Homo-oligomer: A and B are copies of this chain.
Amino acid sequence: MRIRRTELVAPRRLELTQADIAPASGEALFEVAATGICGTDLAIYDGHYAVPLPITLGHEFAGTVVEVGQGVPGDLLGRRVVGEINITCLAAGGVTPCAACRRGLASHCTARTVLGIDRAHGAFASHALLPARCLHVLPGRIALEDAVFVEPLAAAFQTFELSPVSPGEVVVVLGAGRLGVLVCAVAAYLGARVVAVSRSEAKRARALAMGAEAAVAPDAALAAVRDRTEGLGADIVVEATGSPDGLAQALDLVRPRGTIAAKTTCGLPSRGLDLTRLVVGEVSLVGSRCGPFGRAIAALASGAVRVGDLIEGRFALDELAAAMAAARTRAKVLVRP
């Protein structure tokens, strides 16, 4: 099939191209309905997060399967889908799994490519390909535009897969950007008391709408946390500022033996982590990335997590540069081919 896609050929340089693609054995070709822009896209676009170029970015997508390769059940045709972005040796049909896959670390497969990030063309395109094993069929209740949030929502869930939270615990979310507000929603969904921290009044309002019990400016964060924790500090502080320098405030706000959950992938080195404070406080800093699609789909399907209000712009495929610019200040910007 002849498709259109917008490739990043060098940092900040995009080209709309055409290509003929067809599903290989085990693959499905899907028509893209909408694709979201996230912080990782911006970091790669700016050249801070280095990946092999050229590549078509775009890894938060929803679409419809229009063609399947050999060995893929035909009933996938016409189904509305989202997709896990790690194309692992197992997902790609390999017969000898790598050391990571053998240990159950599939999302860290040493042979993987990553849709829209690492050597696999992504979804800022009319169509794209994924192994059928990566796809999740959407329940009818979820609109395709809302389904774009499954991938980042799964990443928000992954925060608490690796740093479990108990109901009633206090979770601080630093940064109420596009990922931060999803983390607020998931933490509230899991029963936490959520305090969002943002300089922006608009973002604070958004965090409250997504389930935070309080949303404060950075200079009011310490008091808000102490009030809720007998002065001890938050059980979990999620660093979702998108800046390399959010760690210092996270250390101020976390309790002894608490966790800082890192979500920022800005590609820039973090300056001035006070390792001594981390050691003395026995604090854990836990990175987390791609997460459980099933939980994200269930949360959206149940209506407990609502994302539609976060969509603040829709752009065409040939407007990707403008879409990237808009994504720097807006919550979720969609590209619709």
Name A's B-contacting residues (CB within 8 A): 43, 49, 99-100, 103, 105, 107-108, 110, 162, 229-232, 244, 247, 255-257, 262-276, 278-289
Contact = CB atoms under 8 A, between A and B. Distances in A.
A287 B284 contact: yes
A256, A263, A271 — which one has the most chain B CB atoms within 10 A of its CB?
A256
Contacts of A265: 275-276, 279-280
Nearest to A243: B275
A200 B50 CA distance: 35
A282 B109 CA distance: 13
Given A264-B275, A279-B288, A284-B287, 6 more contacts: A162-B257, A266-B275, A267-B276, A270-B272, A271-B271, A282-B288
B279 A263 contact: yes
Contacts of A279: 262-265, 287-289
B257 A108 contact: yes
B282 A108 contact: yes
Contact of A287 (B108, B267, B278): B278
Given A282-B108, A284-B287, A276 B272 contact: no
Given A282-B108, A284-B287, A287-B284, A273 B273 contact: yes
Nearest to A279: B287
Contact of A281 (B255, B263, B271, B287): B287
Contacts of A103: 232
A221 to B, nearest CB: 18
9 contacts: A49-B276, A99-B230, A105-B255, A247-B275, A262-B279, A265-B276, A265-B279, A270-B275, A279-B289
B288 A231 contact: no
Most buried by B among A110, A263, A279, A283: A279
Contact of A232 (B49, B100, B288): B100
Contacts of A247: 273, 275
A210 B83 CA distance: 49
A243 to B, nearest CB: 10
A275 B267 CA distance: 8
Contacts of A282: 107-108, 162, 286-289
Nearest to A275: B270
Given A108-B281, A279-B265, A99 B256 contact: no
Contact of A275 (B100, B244, B274, B284): B244
Nearest to A262: B279
Contacts of A280: 265, 287, 289
B284 A285 contact: yes
A101 B20 CA distance: 65
